[in-house]
A = this chain, B = another copy of it.
């Protein structure tokens, strides 16, 4: 099994983003990503810091908008204000949101041209319709890694496990736009292993550590593991059992070091693209 080098792919994107950011600055535009943080959650803070570090490295300004105990309306109002602010080019909204508030409801207040994580339902609809738009960065990272690893996806028998609005569904729609044959599985799928084992390309985004075993993997398959499940020792575990991937897959993304760094790099690529207009 060949590990897929997410950090290497991310480095390539970061170099390209840095060059674009430098051009923008030379032309008088300071590419800026606003990050709305509606929580004091520690894991969220850790993730936000990792975006800040990557942005600084690429020459993108990050602007943290920390909210304390906001209502859903507070979050929506802030997203609307940032959408109208010409000094902001990209906007993302972190989770968890206040109890009972849905991300896609508040994200409808992010202007589509600044929606660099594709969270506004309009962005998702434009993605489904094949219109130009920003895809959710994690789903875009799946495609970026597959282009790197497989190249042409036309006709590829692909299975996506997980149907979330932020990963599974947009990844499936992006794969369809690339002419793959796409099956979406989830918690209610009967005979999951049998369906997965037909996949030349297997994308897993279920959020359960080591959920995918050898019986789910067709020998030689390309496996993209989107899972980032916290472990007892403070590390991260993927959704795919590494021993199973080792014995069966042709190639597989590691966790950490696979989808994660590419996701962050793509958020920044989307931000400089939004700044360039």
Chain A interface residues toward B at CB < 8 A: 102, 104-105, 120-131, 154-155, 157, 163, 165, 169-170, 172-173, 176, 179, 181-186, 188-190, 195
Contact = CB atoms under 8 A, between A and B. Distances in A.
**Top 10 closest A-B pairs, CB basis?**
A125-B125, A121-B125, A124-B125, A183-B183, A179-B188, A104-B129, A181-B189, A155-B190, A122-B122, A129-B165
A195 to B, nearest CB: 7
A80 to B, nearest CB: 16
Contact of A188 (B128, B155, B189): B155
A22 to B, nearest CB: 34
B165 A169 contact: no
B184 A176 contact: yes
17 contacts: A104-B131, A121-B122, A121-B128, A121-B129, A123-B125, A124-B125, A125-B126, A125-B127, A128-B128, A128-B170, A128-B173, A157-B190, A163-B176, A169-B173, A179-B186, A179-B188, A181-B195
Copies in the complex: 2
A124 B170 CA distance: 12
A182 B176 CA distance: 13
Contacts of A104: 126, 129, 131
A86 B7 CA distance: 55
Contacts of A155: 188-190
A135 B17 CA distance: 38
A169 B176 contact: yes
A217 to B, nearest CB: 18
A126 B121 contact: yes
A100 to B, nearest CB: 14
B128 A124 contact: yes
Contacts of A105: 131
Contacts of A163: 176
A188 B178 CA distance: 10
A196 to B, nearest CB: 11
A125 B131 CA distance: 12
Contacts of A190: 155, 157, 181
Nearest to A123: B125
Nearest to A153: B188
A46 B176 CA distance: 33
